[in-house]
């Protein structure tokens, strides 16, 4: 399942309230071609990995969250555990996404 966050407070409560579960955040935009191409694969991963929390954040609808997370390119994926950011990368690279999730899961 993919959570779609709106306000920054909701984003923060998910990231900080997840405990030792991995949280994978996809910062995306409707006008971003690479974002749209990786979206179904991100959704597939969310269905496969019930022990990981997957979040999509539309940077145009959630400018405060995108700004607070220092997002400059889309898609950008951030990985959190215990409220701490573990890693981040930009680009629609599904293999890298799978590697990083496996590394921190």
Question: Which residues are identified as catalytic?
Answer: 32, 35
Task: Report the distance separating Cα 44 and Cα 6, nearest Å.
Answer: 22
Closest to 43 measured CA to CA, from 4, 69, 76: 4
């Amino acid at each position: 399942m993919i959570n779609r966050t709106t306000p920054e407070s909701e984003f923060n409560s998910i990231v900080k309230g997840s405990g030792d579960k991995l949280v994978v955040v996809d910062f995306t935009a409707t006008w971003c071609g690479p974002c749209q191409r990786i979206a179904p694969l991100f959704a597939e991963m969310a269905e496969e990995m019930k022990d990981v929390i997957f979040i999509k954040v539309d940077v145009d609808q959630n400018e405060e969250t995108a700004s607070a997370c220092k997002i400059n390119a889309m898609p950008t994926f951030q990985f959190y555990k215990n409220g701490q950011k573990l890693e981040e990368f930009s680009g629609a690279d599904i293999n890298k996404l799978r590697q990083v999730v496996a590394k921190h899961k």
